[in-house]
């Protein structure tokens, strides 16, 4: 199939609360230049797919409150390429809307769905993998996810168990089971078995296949989106009015729970490019350059004594002097300073909730 029928959906609605306070509600992590390259995670996600998807076929799904950030950071896309969610409803409704939106314009469309906040290295291998994935879903009624070979017993990722090859090729295998975020012991078993891959959250399918999957496994969602005639998805005013009136009534559910864990035509492409979802401070630490003491500095200046394994994310004009800290997150942003052991970073969302309860939205 020609490249003109290939589309990309970039999901860009997350609030990035696990990177609070560096990531704030008014400018979450996907809009931040984490690595000092002058390019945000969203911009990296966009640039990454340009070799395989025409820029006019790239759709960004985000919140109304981030529309201006998207327009500013991706000046080459048109307003019609930005779908604005009126409410946060997880990934399944987001993907369903994008699928109907694209299908109304191109019934032959195939789609890659990616998050705006992933870090991927070895871009040439990424492009090869996506080309291979597109070729597969364009010739099979299949829902394809990209699997990453695990390097550690990570408890923050979902896992995919691979099945036996059934006439597939090029590293594409049927999926046997999905497991969401196992505990440490089970993650060790998965790692040692060699049968499990991390679920990257990057998907490929034809528009027709994913719409059929919603029909079968989440009919409430498909029924809602089909109350708007397909022809009217091509009218921005009618589409937006419909979405603003109806989107919030969708169930809040991930695509994994809604479709991928239930469907029988799910496959995994075992890929070899470097990947991280940059979901935690430790993942950012692991993917950043360290100084000789094993510390990472994002902006600002740091003088540290008897300190190792720390990540400092601070305002560019600020100096931090620290002593005796080991394996800590020190994150400073405007009116908030967070000092937290990296081992307790999963509690940051709870800290954010506590701050919200105590002081409202001011510091969120």
Write the pLDDT tens digit of every residue in 59-78. Answer: 999 999 999 999 999 999 99
Sign of the torsion formed by the C-alpha atoms of 178, 183, 189 and 190:
positive
Strand partners, 301: 319
Task: pLDDT band for 168, please (50, 70, 90 cuts).
Answer: low
Angular region, 38: left φ>0, alpha ψ -120 to 50, beta rest: left
CA distance 276 to 112: 18
Give the global pTM: 0.92
Mean pLDDT of 245-272: 94
Pick the more confident residue, 328 or 298.
328
pLDDT of residue 1: 63
Confidence of residue 279 (pLDDT cuts 50, 70, 90): confident
Please say if the pLDDT value at position 333 is more than 90. Answer: no
Residue 251 has pLDDT above 90, yes or no: yes
Query: In sequence order, what are the residues at sequence separation of 6 or more whose Cβ sits closer than 8 angstroms to the Cβ of residue 354?
Result: none
Mean pLDDT of all residues in 290-316:
93
CA distance 330 to 343: 13
* Highest mean pLDDT of the ranges 144-158, 168-182, 243-257: 243-257
Confidence check: pLDDT of 351 > 90: yes
Whether 232 shows a pLDDT value over 90: the answer reads: yes
Confidence tier at 156 by pLDDT (50, 70, 90): confident
- Taking residue 86's Cβ as centre, other Cβ atoms within 10 Å add up to 14
- Percent of the chain at pLDDT > 90 equals 76
CA separation for the pair 322, 302 (Å, rounded): 8
On whether the CB atoms of residues 113 and 41 are closer than 8 A, the answer is: no
- pLDDT at residue 354 above 70? yes
Cβ–Cβ under 8 Å, residues 331 and 281? yes
Once rounded to an integer, what is the mean pLDDT over residues 172-191? 90
Q: Which among 284, 271, 265 is positioned nearest to 205, based on CA atoms?
A: 265
In the predicted structure, residue 275 carries a pLDDT above the cut 70: yes
- pLDDT at position 151 is 87
Mean pLDDT over the full length of the chain: 93
165: helix, coil or strand?
coil
β-partners of residue 112 are 8, 204
Name the pLDDT band for 167 (thresholds 50, 70, 90): low
Question: Tokens for 336?
Answer: 């908030």
**Has residue 169 got a pLDDT over 70?**
no
pLDDT at 170: 79
327/336 Cα distance (integer angstroms): 20
pLDDT band of 88, cuts 50, 70, 90: very high
Q: What mean pLDDT comes out for the span 2-6?
A: 90
Do β-strands 82-85 and 6-11 pair in parallel, antiparallel, or remain unpaired? Answer: unpaired
pLDDT at 166: 66
Whether the Cβ atoms of residue 143 and residue 209 lie closer than 8 Å to each other:
yes
User: In percent, how much of the chain has pLDDT > 70?
Assistant: 99
Q: What is the mean pLDDT of residues 323-333?
A: 94
Q: How many CA atoms are closer than 13 Å to the CA of 343, on its beta-carbon side?
A: 2
Angle at 338 between CA 337 and CA 344, to 5 degrees: 180
Structure tokens belonging to residue 157 = 């990722």
């Amino acid at each position: 199939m020609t490249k003109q029928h290939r589309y990309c959906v970039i999901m860009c609605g997350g609030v990035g609360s696990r990177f609070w306070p560096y990531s704030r509600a008014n400018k979450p992590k996907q809009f931040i230049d984490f690595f000092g390259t002058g390019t945000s995670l969203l911009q990296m996600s966009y640039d990454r797919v340009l070799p395989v998807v025409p820029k006019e076929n790239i759709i960004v799904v985000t919140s109304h409150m981030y529309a201006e950030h998207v327009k500013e950071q991706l000046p080459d896309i048109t307003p019609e390429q930005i779908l604005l969610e009126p409410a946060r409803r997880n990934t399944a409704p987001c993907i369903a809307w994008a699928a109907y939106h694209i299908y109304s314009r191109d019934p032959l469309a195939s789609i890659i769905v990616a998050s705006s906040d992933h870090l991927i290295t070895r871009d040439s291998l990424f492009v090869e993998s996506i080309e291979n994935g597109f070729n597969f879903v364009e010739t099979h009624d299949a829902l394809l996810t990209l699997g990453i070979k695990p390097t550690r017993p990570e408890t923050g990722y979902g896992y995919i168990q691979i099945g036996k090859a059934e006439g597939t090729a090029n590293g594409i295998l049927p999926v046997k089971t999905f497991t969401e975020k196992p505990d440490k012991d089970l993650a060790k078993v998965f790692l040692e078995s060699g049968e499990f891959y991390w679920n990257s959250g990057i998907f490929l399918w034809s528009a027709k296949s994913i719409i059929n999957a919603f029909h079968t496994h989440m009919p409430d969602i498909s029924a809602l989106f089909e109350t708007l005639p397909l022809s009217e998805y091509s009218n921005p005013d009618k589409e937006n009015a419909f979405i603003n009136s109806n989107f919030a009534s969708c169930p809040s559910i991930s695509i994994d729970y809604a479709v991928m864990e239930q469907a029988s035509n799910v496959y995994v492409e075992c890929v070899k490019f470097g990947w991280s979802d940059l979901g935690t401070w430790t993942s950012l630490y692991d993917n950043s350059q360290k100084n000789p003491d094993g510390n990472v500095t994002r902006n600002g200046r740091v003088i540290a004594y008897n300190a190792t394994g720390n990540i400092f994310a601070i305002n560019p004009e600020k100096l931090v002097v620290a002593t005796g800290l080991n394996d800590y997150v020190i994150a400073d942003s405007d009116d908030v300073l967070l000092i937290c052991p990296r081992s307790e970073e999963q509690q940051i969302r709870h800290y954010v909730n506590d701050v919200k309860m105590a002081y409202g939205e001011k510091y969120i």
